[in-house]
């Protein structure tokens, strides 16, 4: 079979299985990414071993990986496009504190878990970074179902997730930059200055140049001109981030989305990019994550590491974000709810882990454990949120009844006293 037909076959199988599994997952009340990860594990060496079929060339594995990397860039570009800074401004104190401590606690606990299991300091720190990321898409969906997304907890949760994502991306960029050549204090300062310079230039270009470029493009009679120009901007920012700023390409893609999200043509751009990303590249990325997992290689040591990582991910995020929310002014119950909403991991965590294994910071065993952690936290978050909000509703329903009882008792005692006087 010709190479391009092999690729067509693999992409067709991956897309069909990904969309089918995603549909089933959504029908069961879970995010589509859960089904895509699970079907990737089934198609991988754990069960079917799709990429090792007799008529598939070994090089096809690398080609699918390249497809997946394009999916990563598009995913981060969309994340930037969809950020709403207005949500942060409404609850900036709570969101910033919950977002900040919701990163610090799991990063430190993940680093500690890595050191405990004998990882080198850099690998342990990278493990911590993967635990610091948050994906609130499943939490947001649950809050929508409970009709509390626009509540103080819901808006604070959305804002905290924005701070969380930005902080993790910046930390990842600094980490990779220092690892790429920071041996002395002067080297590290030079790297940080280079990053800062790139960020400033990118923002200035995004504020003053990109809106004009997009506006002019939209006036031209070019088929899908806005989509094409947006992709060019995304790729340019990604390349510049890596070669000029010393950052990861995903940081550049994220920045490009952030800047284009300010344009009046945002909805048109978003519509086109969504179709391309979720129709082809993003499902391949999530399935490819599963393809790299081999459950047959799991042994007691990896299982124990997985359990420790899950514990660190859940307790670190819940405790850190919850305490931050409490310090930001939320009540104890609201802080518990917000912390629980930050537990689920997803796209950003998987992207960070993907960078880690490609750069050699994460061994395959730790990578597999992280994917299992993502699956576990995605499954456990909705029932925890439903329980906490049900408890709050139950307490609220009890309060008026107790208040009525308190009011009735004095009246009853007054009547008895008047009867005695008579």
Domain span at residue 101 reads: 70-280+299-361+375-412
Q: What is the DSSP letter of 248?
A: -
Cβ contact 353:290 at 8 Å: no
With respect to residue 19, please indicate whether it lies within any of the assigned structural domains: no
The reported pLDDT for the residue numbered 238 is 92
With respect to residue 42, please indicate whether it lies within any of the assigned structural domains: no
Cβ atoms < 10 Å from Cβ of 385: 25
Helices and strands (H, E) in the chain, number of each type: 18, 0
Q: List, for residues 236-251, the tens digit of each pLDDT value.
A: 999 998 888 877 788 8
**Residue 184 clears pLDDT 90, i.e. is over it:** no
**Residue 338 clears pLDDT 70, i.e. is over it:** yes
Task: Give 330's pLDDT tier (boundaries 50, 70, 90).
Answer: very high
Q: Helices (DSSP H) in 82-91: which residue ranges? A: 85-90
Q: What is the DSSP letter of 1?
A: -
Residue 249: its H or E element: helix 249-260
- Integer-rounded Cα radius of gyration of the chain: 25
Mean of pLDDT over the chain: 85
Of 16-25, 42-51, 161-170, 263-272, the one with minimum mean pLDDT is 161-170
Q: List, for residues 380-407, the tens digit of each pLDDT value.
A: 888 888 889 888 776 766 665 554 444 4
How many domains does one find in the chain?
A: 1
Among 265, 281, 374, 294, which Cα is nearest to 46's?
A: 294
Structure tokens at 181: 């050549």
With respect to residue 191, please indicate whether it lies within any of the assigned structural domains: yes
The predicted model gives 407-420 an average pLDDT of: 42
HSE-up (13 A, CA, CB side) for residue 44: 23
Q: For residue 99, what are the contacts with CB-CB under 8 A and spacing of at least 6? A: 159, 160, 161, 162, 163, 164, 167, 321, 324
With respect to residue 334, please indicate whether it lies within any of the assigned structural domains: yes
Can you say whether the dihedral through the CA atoms of 53, 56, 57, 61 is positive or negative?
negative
Residue 335: its H or E element: helix 332-341
The whole-angstrom separation of Cα 116 and Cα 106 is: 15
The reported pLDDT for the residue numbered 75 is 87
Indicate the angle between helix axes 60-81 and 225-243, nearest 10 degrees: 100
Q: What is the DSSP letter of 206?
A: I
Distance, C-alpha 294 to centroid of its chain = 23
Q: What is the DSSP letter of 298?
A: -
Among 211, 284, 233, 250, which Cα is nearest to 50's?
A: 284
Task: Give 14's pLDDT tier (boundaries 50, 70, 90).
Answer: very high
Residue whose entry in the numeric block shows the structure tokens 């506006």? 215
pTM of the entire predicted model: 0.78
The reported pLDDT for the residue numbered 421 is 44
Q: Cα dist. 403→155, 406, 407 in Å?
A: 30, 5, 6
Task: Give 214's pLDDT tier (boundaries 50, 70, 90).
Answer: very high
With respect to residue 91, please indicate whether it lies within any of the assigned structural domains: yes
List the end-to-end C-alpha distance of the chain, in Å, as a whole number.
106
The reported pLDDT for the residue numbered 155 is 82
Cβ contact 342:157 at 8 Å: yes
User: What CATH number is given to the structural domain containing 355?
Assistant: 1.20.1530.20
The reported pLDDT for the residue numbered 181 is 64
The whole-angstrom separation of Cα 211 and Cα 225 is: 14
With respect to residue 30, please indicate whether it lies within any of the assigned structural domains: no
């Amino acid at each position: 079979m010709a190479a391009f037909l092999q690729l067509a076959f693999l992409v067709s199988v991956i897309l069909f299985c990904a969309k089918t599994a995603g549909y089933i997952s959504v029908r069961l009340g879970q995010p589509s990414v859960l089904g895509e990860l699970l079907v990737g594990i089934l198609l991988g060496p754990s069960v079917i071993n799709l990429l090792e079929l007799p008529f598939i060339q070994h090089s096809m594995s690398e080609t699918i990986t390249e497809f997946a990397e394009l999916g990563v860039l598009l995913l981060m570009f969309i994340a930037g496009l969809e950020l709403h800074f207005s949500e942060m401004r409404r609850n900036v104190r709570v969101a910033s504190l919950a977002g900040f401590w919701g990163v610090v606690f799991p990063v430190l606990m993940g680093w500690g878990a890595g050191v405990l299991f004998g990882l080198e300091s850099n690998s342990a720190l990278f493990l911590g970074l993967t635990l610091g990321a948050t994906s609130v898409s499943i939490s947001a969906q649950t809050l929508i179902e409970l009709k509390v997304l626009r509540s103080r907890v819901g808006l604070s949760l959305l804002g905290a997730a924005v701070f969380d994502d930005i902080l993790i991306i910046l930390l990842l960029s600094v980490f990779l930059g220092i690892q790429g050549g920071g041996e002395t204090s002067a080297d590290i300062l030079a790297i940080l200055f280079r990053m800062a310079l790139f960020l400033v230039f990118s923002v200035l270009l995004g504020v003053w140049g990109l809106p004009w470029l997009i506006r002019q493009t939209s006036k031209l009679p070019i088929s899908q001109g806005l989509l094409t120009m947006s992709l060019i901007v995304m790729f340019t920012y990604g390349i510049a981030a890596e070669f000029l700023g010393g950052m990861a390409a995903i940081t550049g893609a994220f920045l490009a989305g952030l800047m284009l999200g300010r344009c009046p043509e945002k909805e048109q751009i978003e519509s086109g990019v969504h179709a391309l990303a979720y129709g082809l590249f993003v499902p391949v990325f999530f399935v490819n994550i599963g393809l790299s997992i081999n459950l047959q290689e799991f042994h007691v040591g990896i299982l124990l590491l997985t359990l420790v990582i899950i514990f660190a991910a859940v307790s670190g995020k819940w405790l850190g974000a919850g305490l931050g929310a409490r310090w930001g002014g939320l009540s104890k119950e609201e802080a518990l709810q917000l912390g629980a909403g930050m537990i689920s991991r997803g796209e950003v965590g998987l992207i960070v882990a993907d960078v880690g294994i490609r750069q050699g910071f994460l061994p395959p065993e730790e990578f597999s454990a992280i994917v299992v952690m993502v699956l576990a936290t995605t499954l456990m978050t909705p029932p925890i949120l439903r329980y906490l909000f049900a408890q709050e509703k139950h307490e609220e329903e009890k309060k008026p009844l107790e208040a009525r009882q308190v009011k009735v008792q004095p009246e009853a005692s007054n009547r008895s006293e008047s009867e005695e006087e008579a």
